[in-house]
Amino acid sequence: MDQSAKQLDLIADKFEAGDFPTSGRSTRCAETVETYQVKGRKVSRKLLIYSLMLGLVGCADSTGKLPAPAVPADRAETSPAPAWAGWPADGPPPAIVPFDADTAKQHQQAWATYLDVPVERELELAEDVRMKLVFIPPGEFQMGSNDDQEPVAVTLTQGFYLGETEVTQAQWTAVMETKPWTGETFIKEGPAYAASYISWNDAIDFCTKLTEQEHAAGRLAKGWRYALPTESQWEYACRAGTTTAYYFGDDPAHLGDYAWFYDNAYDIGAKYAHEVRLKKPNAWTLYDMHGNVWEWCRNGYQYDLPGGIDPASVEGSDRVYRGGSWNNAAGICRSAYRSGVVPSSRIYDLGFRLAAVPVGGAEQEPVSESR
């Protein structure tokens, strides 16, 4: 247990024992202690620790032993109320966008703790070929942009995992034992380059095969499976709490620090998908969500954005892809930008990112006539 975790655990002990002094601490902390001690509120230890982790009780003292609250007291009263009434009463607060990078990490850790899952999972696909996935907490956000289709409110009720990077050539070959990009144009080969010339159908086959392998080996719980992310999961994960055009802000002049796109790839003769993980990640440590290769999503494509609770529309013959590529201008690489194409398409700048999702319900894929 690291030092911060030990401190949280000790404070939780004092709360439960009714022996937590409020002298010299914030008014908000004193009020919280009174709520727990005098009013006799009974809560689980887990919930108490989640609250401490998220800074909701404001109990850091003058020694600075605990981090400052993630949501300052003067902002807490204006935090948006959840739109969905089904959030678990004993769970941490939902991740309601907007929130900053520190809060993004705190939501991530709090929900992983609540669900008793790791924040990161690493798969060993073959000798020296690994894939890391990071946990994305459930939450609420506005999907889309007024520059495109009208935004819609989305609630994602379940946490999920998403690949830290796009699937690479080495990762694809380790699972599928093929190299569909070999001999094609606009390709540079190597283990860390993002895989392209992957159709939606191919990507689904990858997910299905990997799920079966990992279930058989006992490395993946039966309640989980590998899949493509829905486009709402994709955009929510890309934004990581932001409402700006890109996960770093609105100014495309900074895009080159975070993405391979037209200006720093195609326009200088580097006309191929690049190695992953060379640019800056977002707050949930996801790399290349902007640019490099377009990424397939699970949804059927329709013009109007699918909103609501866990949207996963299967309408339409095309499939959604997101994120832009090395061949696209900055405006195409925005968090909200979307497009669609038939699921059999294999294109030089189109790949995918693996998700791990709970089994059942909305996450089942649409199936094309060709499958």
Query: What's the pLDDT score for residue 79?
Result: 54
Read out DSSP for 272-317? Answer: SPPBTT-S---TT----SSSSSEEEEEEEP-SS---EES-----SS
The owner of tokens 């493509």 is 228
| Domain range summary for the chain, segments of one domain joined by + | 1-79, 115-363
132: phi then psi, degrees, rounded to nearest 5: -105, 135
pLDDT digits (tens, 9 = 90+) for 165-223: 999 999 999 999 999 999 999 999 999 999 999 999 999 999 999 999 999 999 999 99
Q: Looking at the domain 115-363, which fold is it?
A: paralog of FGE (formylglycine-generating enzyme) (3.90.1580)
pLDDT at 69 over 50: no
Query: What's the pLDDT score for residue 360?
Result: 77
Overall average pLDDT of the 105-129 stretch: 97
User: Which of 25-39, 58-72, 261-275 is predicted most confidently?
Assistant: 261-275
Residue 80 binned pLDDT confidence (cut-offs 50, 70, 90) = confident
Spatial distance between the Cα atoms of 188 and 186, rounded to a whole number of angstroms: 7
